[in-house]
């Protein structure tokens, strides 16, 4: 996915109805297809095509039991869209139709270009921003006002929101694990071919300016930066640069790095199965433990030291 992430994260979103412009700072990729069976993908029918906006609805997860009752699903707002803090917006990248591929690029953070450069961080707050700027009471009303869900210029006429490349984008793009995923529903004992184990810490979140993305995902940001830097330098330099890039205090970074090393040395993933891993040190230890668990011993790097 790396070959398509940089154009996506270094883009501008234009809300044509209000002439609002935003820079995309943070996105996450989700793709479910043969050979890449990411269980964290929504799997909605709307994600079976590419290039559309998809506001999150009650899940129709691919492979979910047909007998799932409506009462077990999270509440939805008007039009069946997610409400409250469960709102979210994807740019779809599924298809072609005969492939069975279902995919979405979740928008997590935007920066309003004018008048104030405000940072909007978090999927639900991002949707709230679009509603406020459009003066719409809910997602259904916003979608109706657009007239089309196509996301690229030239594909349709009328008021809507489109994505365009930023000609001036020169910011480095970093990859990290995605936010909010854990092994709570993984099989026990854990297996290296369990899709939840395989995909929980994949670096499918892409960001620019990590030092300002502090509202959410700081543990994912740190471990993604730290792991990436370990390939190019020694552990101490990797730690120092990861702290600089993420805006973490050195002591906090040292604690996180120690948790990562602890997990990597033990390789014990079982302690994280069936648990919600929201504590930063526990989460980073889990990521560290996953690396030797999923990687042949001959490929384990000097990060174990």
The Cα–Cα gap between 142 and 25 comes to 23
Element (H, E) at 5: helix 2-9
> Residue 302's pLDDT is what?
44
The two structure tokens encoding residue 189: 């004992």
Q: pLDDT of 200-213, one tens digit each? A: 999 999 999 999 99
Residue with the larger pLDDT of the pair 165 and 288: 288
The two structure tokens encoding residue 298: 């001959």
The Cα–Cα gap between 214 and 255 comes to 18
Q: Which of 125, 141, 165 is the last residue of a domain?
A: 165
Phi, psi of 243 (to 5 degrees): -65, -45
> Residue 157's pLDDT is what?
62
The Cα–Cα gap between 169 and 226 comes to 24
The Cα–Cα gap between 113 and 133 comes to 13
The two structure tokens encoding residue 133: 């700027």
The two structure tokens encoding residue 141: 């009303």
Q: pLDDT of 60-113, one tens digit each? A: 554 443 333 333 344 455 678 999 999 999 999 999 988 999 999 999 999 998
Element (H, E) at 267: none
**What's the structural domain count of the chain?**
2
| Residue 158 shares a structural domain with residue 299 | no
Burial of 74 (0-12, 13-18, 19+ CB in 10 A): exposed
| Residue 6 shares a structural domain with residue 153 | yes
| Residue 298 shares a structural domain with residue 204 | yes
The Cα–Cα gap between 102 and 63 comes to 12
| Residue 97 shares a structural domain with residue 128 | yes
DSSP 224-264: HHHHHHHTTS-HHHHHHHHHHHHT--HHHHHHHHHHHHHHH
> Residue 68's pLDDT is what?
37
Residue 136's domain comprises 2-165
| Residue 8 shares a structural domain with residue 53 | yes
| Residue 149 shares a structural domain with residue 278 | no
What value does the mean pLDDT of the chain take? Answer: 86
Q: pLDDT of 14-64, one tens digit each? A: 665 566 889 999 999 999 999 999 999 999 999 999 999 999 997 655 444
Of 268, 269, 188, 175, nearest to 223 (Cα)?
A: 175
Q: Is residue 134 helix, strand or coil?
A: helix
Lowest pLDDT segment from 111-115, 209-213, 215-219, 281-285: 111-115
| Residue 19 shares a structural domain with residue 140 | yes
Which residues in the chain belong to E strands, given as ranges?
A: 11-15, 20-33, 36-37, 50-55, 89-93, 102-112, 119-121, 161-165, 174-176, 205-207
| Residue 159 shares a structural domain with residue 217 | no
| Residue 128 shares a structural domain with residue 184 | no
The two structure tokens encoding residue 44: 């909605």
> Residue 1's pLDDT is what?
46
| Residue 131 shares a structural domain with residue 38 | yes
Q: pLDDT of 105-143, one tens digit each? A: 999 999 998 778 999 999 999 999 999 988 999 999 999
The two structure tokens encoding residue 168: 């001036």
93's CB contacts (< 8 A; 6+ apart) are 31, 50, 51, 103, 104, 105
| Domain CATH number, residue 83 | 3.10.300
How open is the CA angle 101-78-17, to the nearest 5 degrees? Answer: 80
> Residue 296's pLDDT is what?
58
Contact, 269 vs 197, CB < 8 A? yes
The Cα–Cα gap between 77 and 9 comes to 29
The Cα–Cα gap between 12 and 24 comes to 6
**Reported confidence tier of residue 9, pLDDT bands at 50, 70, 90:** low
| Residue 141 shares a structural domain with residue 178 | no
Q: Is the dihedral of CA 173, 176, 181, 185 positive or negative?
A: positive
Give 50's strand partners.
93
Res. 284: pLDDT tops 50: yes
Segment 137-161 shows an average pLDDT of 83
> Residue 159's pLDDT is what?
65
The Cα–Cα gap between 65 and 159 comes to 38
Of 124, 114, 208, nearest to 170 (Cα)?
A: 208
């Amino acid at each position: 996915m790396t070959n398509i992430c940089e154009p996506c994260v270094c883009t501008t979103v234009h809300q044509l109805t209000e002439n609002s412009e935003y820079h995309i700072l943070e996105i996450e990729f989700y793709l479910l297809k043969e050979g890449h069976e990411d269980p964290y993908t929504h799997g909605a029918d709307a994600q079976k095509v590419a290039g559309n906006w998809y506001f999150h609805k009650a899940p129709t997860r691919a492979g979910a039991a047909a007998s799932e009752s409506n009462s077990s699903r999270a509440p939805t707002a008007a039009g069946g869209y997610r409400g409250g803090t469960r709102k979210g917006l994807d740019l779809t990248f599924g298809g072609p139709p005969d492939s069975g591929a279902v995919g979405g690029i979740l928008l997590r953070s935007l920066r309003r270009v004018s008048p104030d450069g405000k940072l909007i961080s978090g999927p639900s707050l991002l949707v709230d921003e679009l509603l406020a700027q459009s003066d719409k009471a809910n997602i259904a009303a916003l979608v109706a006002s657009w007239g089309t869900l196509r996301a690229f210029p030239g594909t349709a006429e009328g008021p809507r929101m489109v994505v365009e490349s930023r000609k001036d984008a020169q910011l480095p793009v970093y990859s990290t694990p995605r936010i909010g995923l854990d092994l709570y529903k993984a099989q026990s004992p854990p297996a290296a071919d369990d899709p939840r184990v395989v995909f929980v810490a994949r670096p499918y979140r892409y960001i620019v300016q990590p030092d300002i993305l502090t509202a959410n995902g700081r543990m994912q940001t740190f471990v993604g930066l730290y792991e990436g830097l370990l390939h190019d330098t020694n552990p101490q330099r990797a730690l120092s640069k990861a702290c600089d890039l993420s805006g973490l205090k050195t002591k906090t970074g040292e604690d996180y790095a120690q948790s990562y090393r602890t997990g990597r040395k033990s390789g014990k993933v079982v302690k994280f199965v069936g648990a919600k891993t929201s504590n930063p040190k526990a989460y980073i230890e889990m990521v560290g433990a996953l690396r030797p668990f999923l990687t042949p011993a001959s490929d384990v790097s000097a990060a174990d030291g």
